[in-house]
């Protein structure tokens, strides 16, 4: 006979042996002996003795008992009259044992069935969780990509903003240079004409002799208005030299400014940087806006001069543009040794609360479309933050606006 894995289903067939195991063997034998006499025995349907002595005693008789409808064993004993009652008793016991076994087994199966269902639900939940996790991860990647795209676009826009202010500067610088160039050219034309007069006088002097010739020379002198010419000539030349010097100054400032814009950090005096920036913006001020500077002594600051220059330039241009008629822009610097504070204030039209609240938002602009990128102050804030500092704004409509930049001296470098 081959061994089969034990079938533990509640609806399996229960053997007599198995059912008897539910009861105490010694007690059961005592009960049977009490009912059926000393030699009482319980045998299975094949005649194997399960309870009682191994051998039958004299005068004993057998009666079969059933489980369900099927005879599964015998009771044997000398008290023949008690056999039917003993059989009924054993059948009741076996029925009770089977009930008990079935109840516990079906309970286990029911619990297992519920547990299996819970496990399935759990598996399904885990699967859906994994799906959401994967989705979340790919979402993160996509957000990352989007952020990169936006950052790239922003960098391009920053560049555009820079180019825009450079363009504005270039226009101002061109105007500044054009003006002296104009009068130098006009002066040189006048000088040319004066030279012709002098040549004519020279010819006269070389070609003629005699006393009366002195009179003709005097007449020609008068004719060519040589007194006025000699008076005007040095003035004209000095004016031209002055004009050329102005152009040279502008070119020097340009050179200064362009050398600032090299990438990388250096240790500089912010006051000097502000001066150089102001020189570049000078053309914007014109005669209507007065520039007032009030510099305090500053420790050297390790920074990106080019970027800070851009910040100052943005703030200066904004300040000038905020002043509708005559007014003043005031630059103040202070340091307590820990922080450097730069204030750039104007006496312009000021800003409303609503505008003030959004003034650092990217792409927010009060200028006409195309006139500003809306990034000037955003760039300014980002650059200041990159230096570990902060930028604050205070404004009152009709009174003016003041930006305050605070940068720690030793935040980096």
Partner 1 sequence: MEYDEDKQRLTVKLVYYGPALSGKTTNLMRLHDFIVPERRGEIMTLETKNDRTLFFDLLPLGFTAPSGLLVKFKLFTVPGQVAHDGTRKAVLSRTDGVVFVADSQRSQGINNGASFENLAENAGRVGLDFERLPLVVQFNKRDVAEIYSEAELRERWSATPWPLTFASALVGTGVLETFRLLLQRAYPVLDSACALGARHGVSVETFVGVAGTDSLEQALSR
CB of residue 141 to partner 1, shortest distance in Å: 39
CA 364-370-371 angle, to 5 degrees, is 80
CB of residue 144 to partner 1, shortest distance in Å: 44
Residue 276's region, left for phi above 0, alpha for psi from -120 to 50, else beta, is: alpha
Q: Which is nearer to partner 1, 96 or 141 (CB)?
A: 96
Q: Which is nearer to partner 1, 111 or 150 (CB)?
A: 111
CB of residue 88 to partner 1, shortest distance in Å: 12
**Beta-sheet pairing, 289-295 with 70-77:** unpaired
If you ran DSSP here, which 8-state letter would residue 178 be given?
Answer: H
Angstrom CA distances, 24 to 21, 172, 177, stand at 7, 114, 121
Measured CA to CA, the distance from residue 404 to residue 342 in angstroms comes to 6
CB of residue 114 to partner 1, shortest distance in Å: 4
Q: Which is nearer to partner 1, 67 or 377 (CB)?
A: 67
CB of residue 48 to partner 1, shortest distance in Å: 14
CB of residue 64 to partner 1, shortest distance in Å: 13
Measured CA to CA, the distance from residue 186 to residue 200 in angstroms comes to 22
Residue of 392, 265, 302 whose CA lies nearest to 341: 392
Q: Which is nearer to partner 1, 113 or 174 (CB)?
A: 113
Q: Which is nearer to partner 1, 15 or 30 (CB)?
A: 15
Measured CA to CA, the distance from residue 122 to residue 378 in angstroms comes to 50
Measured CA to CA, the distance from residue 381 to residue 47 in angstroms comes to 103
Tokens 């009709």 belong to 398
Q: Which is nearer to partner 1, 72 or 198 (CB)?
A: 72
CB of residue 65 to partner 1, shortest distance in Å: 12
CB of residue 13 to partner 1, shortest distance in Å: 6
Measured CA to CA, the distance from residue 151 to residue 238 in angstroms comes to 54
Beta strands (DSSP E) in 35-128 are 41-44, 49-51, 61-67, 70-77
Q: Which is nearer to partner 1, 100 or 363 (CB)?
A: 100
Q: Which is nearer to partner 1, 118 or 251 (CB)?
A: 118
Q: Which is nearer to partner 1, 68 or 223 (CB)?
A: 68
Angstrom CA distances, 56 to 25, 34, 62, 89, 107, stand at 19, 17, 10, 21, 41
Written as six digits, the tokens of 308 are 């800070």
| List of residues contacting partner 1 (CB under 8 A) | 1, 7, 9-13, 66-70, 95, 98-99, 102-103, 106-107, 109-114, 117
CB of residue 1 to partner 1, shortest distance in Å: 7
Q: Which residues contact 187 (CB under 8 A, 6 or more apart)?
A: 236, 237, 239, 240, 243
């Amino acid at each position: 006979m081959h061994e089969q894995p034990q079938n533990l289903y509640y609806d399996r067939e229960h053997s007599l042996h198995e059912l008897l195991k539910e009861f105490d063997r010694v007690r059961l034998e005592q009960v049977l002996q009490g009912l059926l006499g000393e030699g009482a025995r319980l045998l299975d349907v094949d005649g194997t003795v399960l309870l009682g002595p191994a051998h039958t005693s004299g005068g004993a008789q057998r009666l079969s008992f059933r489980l369900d409808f099927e005879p599964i064993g015998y009771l044997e004993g000398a008290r023949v009259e008690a056999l039917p009652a003993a059989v009924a008793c054993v059948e009741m016991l076996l029925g009770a044992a089977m009930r008990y076994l079935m109840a516990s087994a079906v309970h286990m199966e029911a619990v297992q069935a519920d547990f299996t269902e819970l496990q399935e639900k759990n598996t399904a939940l885990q699967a859906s969780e994994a799906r959401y996790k994967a989705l979340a991860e790919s979402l993160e990647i996509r957000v990352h990509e989007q952020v990169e795209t936006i950052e790239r676009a922003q960098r391009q826009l920053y560049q555009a903003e820079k180019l825009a202010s450079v363009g504005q500067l270039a226009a101002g610088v061109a105007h500044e240079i054009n003006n002296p160039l104009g009068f130098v050219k006009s002066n040189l034309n006048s000088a040319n004409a004066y030279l012709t007069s002098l040549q004519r006088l020279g010819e006269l002097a070389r070609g003629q002799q005699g006393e009366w010739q002195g009179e003709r020379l005097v007449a020609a002198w008068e004719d060519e208005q040589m007194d006025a010419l000699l008076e005007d000539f040095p003035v004209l030349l000095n004016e031209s030299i002055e004009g050329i010097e102005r152009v040279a100054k502008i070119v020097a400032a340009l050179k200064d400014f362009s050398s600032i814009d090299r990438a990388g950090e250096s240790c500089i005096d912010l006051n000097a940087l502000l001066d150089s920036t102001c020189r570049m913006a000078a053309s914007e001020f014109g005669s209507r806006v007065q520039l007032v500077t009030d510099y305090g002594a500053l420790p050297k600051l390790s920074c990106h001069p080019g970027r800070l220059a851009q910040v100052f330039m943005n703030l200066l241009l904004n300040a000038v543009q905020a002043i509708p008629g005559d007014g003043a822009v005031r630059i103040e610097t202070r340091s307590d040794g820990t922080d450097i504070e730069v204030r750039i204030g104007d006496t312009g039209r000021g800003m409303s609360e609503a505008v003030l609240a959004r003034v650092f938002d990217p792409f927010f602009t009060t200028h006409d479309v195309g006139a500003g990128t809306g990034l000037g102050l955003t760039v300014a804030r980002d650059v200041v933050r990159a230096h570990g500092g902060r930028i604050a704004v205070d404004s009152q409509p009709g009174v003016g606006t003041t930006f305050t930049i605070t940068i720690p001296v030793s935040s980096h470098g």
